[in-house]
Structure 1
Amino acid sequence: MKVGVLGATGYAGQELVRLLHRHEEVSEMYLASSSVAGKEYDVVYPHWLGQNVGILEDENVPDLDVLFCALPHGLTAERTGAFLARKIKVIDLGADFRLNSAQVYEEWYKIKHPATELLKEAVYGLPELYREQIRGKSLIANPGCYPTASLLASVPLLRKELLQTGYLVIDAKSGVSGAGRGISLGNHYAEVNENFKAYGVANHRHTPEIEQELSRAAGKPLTVNFTPHLVPMTRGMLITIYAAVQEGVQEEDLRQCWQEQYGQEEFIHLLPQGTWPQTKFSSGSNHAFLQLTLDHRTGNAVIVATIDNLIKGAAGQAVQNMNLIMGWPEGQGLQGTALWP
């Protein structure tokens, strides 16, 4: 099979290359970067020396079976219609097709949506929650990293009406790689090292994505307090959710709900009681780890999840979606545990 990656030199793009390079069904890769077209891939990333990954090309996409788009918002949507007309399946790692409403997209991303007619065709690509909707489709909206962790932890509990919906707090932390490979003052070593800060407070662009899918799970409109933080580490993500439970709900009810949803899942792990997620549990892997407790003093459930923001939060989940739409084993090319220590 022939696959392509637009934006192959970004952090998520490079992780896609790493995963696809070892995928048994991938025979040929087209790798594109508008900024360094014509260079060998191992010139940009010297750790690929000797692997014969190939030359980075311009963005004139050849005939492919699947195209991954790891581009800034707005750039994928304006070209997707042409790709689909050529029978190329598109997996977008950006934000262009995650939101059902063009109006909400334009409000949060401050640009006009380039392809509103395709929004109804796009499927939200979180396999553990929407597997059957993803199978065989041609346009997949790969979820954001913060939404992936937040939704895996909370959607099953909302579907079962175990949580109250009036007050939901998501306190999230991510490593610096989540900001991408571009240069900005806030990501400089001296700004990040030995520092810890909140950002995007009350206006982070993943907020409407989280609210959309939580509302879908709850069956009614729902709002959240979502606050992300930047942690002085390269990769990893940990989110803590605080939510009041419905009257009479016990901790075992919450655990049983998770067990029913994820008990047979390859990449979602429910930790033993008393063991709390750490970012190193998932670093470099496509695995997610979940834990919860019911604080009887406050009546709130405390829910914690961790993923690798570049793998399960981006490239790994995209490959998982590719496997689903092509009819291959869902975990193909994604095996392996985290790097430890």
Structure 2
Amino acid sequence: MTYSVAVSGASGYAGGEILRLLASHPDLEIRTVTAHSTVGQPLIAHQPHLRSLAHQTLQDTTPEILAGHDIVFLALPHGQSGQYTEALGDTPLVIDAGADHRLTSQESWDAFYGGHFHEPWTYGVPELLVGGAKQRERLVGATRIAAPGCNASTVSLSLAPGVAAGVIDPSDIVSVLAVGPSGAGKSLKTNLLASEILGTANPYAVGGTHRHIPEIQQALKDAGAAGPVRISFTPVLVPMARGILATSTAPLADGVSDAQIREAWETAYGDETFVQLLPAGQFPRTADVVGANTALMGIAVDRAANRVVVVTAVDNLVKGTAGAAIQSMNIALGLPEATGLSVNGVAP
């Protein structure tokens, strides 16, 4: 069976990455691409790397144009995709790459986003530990999927094994992330100009204000945190187009050995294709995951500080967004999970 697909926000970074991955998916036909300010223009004018889709023209993002497809991807700014939910009620599968359907708590939504709160959808991080199982089980047969926030899924995957196994204390998490500017989208912003980011590292959303914080807390609670999940989360913008390098630390539980700590992560990810734990003493680089749907992870035990240190690298546009969405789509449709996705990056 071939599924027909529409992709909204097709002229942006997330939409473009969804299209790049879908273009090599054997079970899908990209039938419609939509946008807003670029309606009527060739897709190739905004995504010149997508040569196989040069025949596509950007249409208006309306419910009427998006309807009638088997699958719709919404790659729109936060607060915009929710308006299409009811209008796409007859669409078999809708996947939102924005934040509108990620959070289960309206209180958290109001505090970090504001505006209308929409119902939560099935969270699109298959490898995430949830109640002793994996989120993948909830994705089977799903008809509405919320793709994750890239920073949120990176930190959640980093620490969920320790939380689930009870070997770390999630009440004192510290995460510092080096991130590329593509995570902020394609809209022109002064602070993202090359002259502003080249040769410098710039912290932002400092002091507990980043919108991905409640998403991380939600995921770690679902992983089995018995008490509060408290996190100091600081992203730092660095001059690389793609990538996240997340360094996350948390206190060790009383009496756990180094072997027990590593075993928690090996048990969680030993059989996973797209989340890979590196050998002891090795840590990932963002360069190793560019273009890949892979999260590479290194773990260390800092006994002097009594903390675990987890360093995880992902491509924010692939495993952080588009790849996670398509991986979740494959599971929902009953297709082989890795279809259209690769563990191999691009180098140099």
Q: 1:205 maps to which residue?
A: 211
Q: 1:104 maps to which residue?
A: 108
Q: 2:173 maps to which residue?
A: 168
Distance in 2 (alpha carbons) for counterparts of 1:32 and 1:106: 29
Select which of 186, 191, 202 maps to 1:181.
Answer: 186
Q: 2:132 maps to which residue?
A: none
1:95 aligns with 2:94: no
| Contact 1:15/1:311, CA 8 A, preserved across alignment | yes
Q: Deviations over 1:274-324 (max 9, x none)?
A: 211110111111001111111111111111111000000000111101101
How many angstroms does 1:336 deviate by?
A: 4.6
1:10 aligns with 2:30: no
* Unmatched segments (≥5 aa) in structure 1: none
1:253 aligns with 2:257: no
1:216 aligns with 2:240: no
Instruction: Look up the SS of the partner of 1:16 in the other structure.
Output: helix
Report the more deviating stretch, 210-219 or 11-20: 210-219
| Contact 2:181/2:192, CA 8 A, preserved across alignment | yes
Q: Deviations over 1:77-124 (max 9, x none)?
A: 1211221x21331111100111101222122113232x3xx33xx111
Q: Deviations over 1:48-104 (max 9, x none)?
A: 346444111112313111111110111111211221x21331111100111101222
Distance in 2 (alpha carbons) for counterparts of 1:296 and 1:15: 41
| Contact 1:7/1:33, CA 8 A, preserved across alignment | yes
Instruction: Look up the SS of the partner of 1:24 in the other structure.
Output: coil
Q: Deviations over 1:219-242 (max 9, x none)?
A: 333121111110111111000111
Distance 1:171 1:214, change over 3 A: same
1:46 aligns with 2:48: yes
Distance in 1 (alpha carbons) for counterparts of 2:303 and 2:227: 27
How many angstroms does 1:136 deviate by?
A: 0.6
Report the more deviating stretch, 156-165 or 308-317: 156-165
Q: 1:329 maps to which residue?
A: 336
| Contact 1:37/1:56, CA 8 A, preserved across alignment | yes
Taking the TM superposition and a 5 Å limit, the aligned residue runs for 1:120-269 are: 122-129=121-128, 130-201=135-206, 202-217=208-223, 218-269=225-276
Instruction: Look up the SS of the partner of 1:128 in the other structure.
Output: coil
Distance in 2 (alpha carbons) for counterparts of 1:53 and 1:100: 40
Q: 1:68 maps to which residue?
A: 73
Q: Percent identity?
A: 36
Counterpart code for 1:242: T
| Contact 1:63/1:88, CA 8 A, preserved across alignment | no
* Unmatched segments (≥5 aa) in structure 2: 129-134
Number of matched pairs: 335
How many angstroms does 1:331 deviate by?
A: 0.5
Distance in 1 (alpha carbons) for counterparts of 2:209 and 2:268: 31
Report the more deviating stretch, 153-162 or 104-113: 104-113
Instruction: Look up the SS of the partner of 1:171 in the other structure.
Output: strand
| Contact 2:23/2:52, CA 8 A, preserved across alignment | no
Instruction: Look up the SS of the partner of 2:85 in the other structure.
Output: helix
Distance in 1 (alpha carbons) for counterparts of 2:183 and 2:25: 24
Tell me the TM-score normalised to structure 1 length.
0.95
Select which of 37, 41, 52 maps to 1:35.
Answer: 37
Distance 1:93 1:50, change over 3 A: closer
Instruction: Look up the SS of the partner of 1:163 in the other structure.
Output: coil
Counterpart code for 1:73: H
Distance 1:277 1:253, change over 3 A: same
Report the more deviating stretch, 53-62 or 258-267: 53-62
Distance in 2 (alpha carbons) for counterparts of 1:187 and 1:274: 35
Distance in 2 (alpha carbons) for counterparts of 1:49 and 1:267: 27
Distance in 1 (alpha carbons) for counterparts of 2:52 and 2:281: 45
Distance 1:272 1:53, change over 3 A: farther
Distance in 2 (alpha carbons) for counterparts of 1:126 and 1:269: 14
Distance in 2 (alpha carbons) for counterparts of 1:52 and 1:232: 30
Distance in 2 (alpha carbons) for counterparts of 1:220 and 1:249: 18
Report the more deviating stretch, 127-136 or 215-224: 215-224
Distance in 1 (alpha carbons) for counterparts of 2:299 and 2:343: 25
Instruction: Look up the SS of the partner of 1:112 in the other structure.
Output: coil
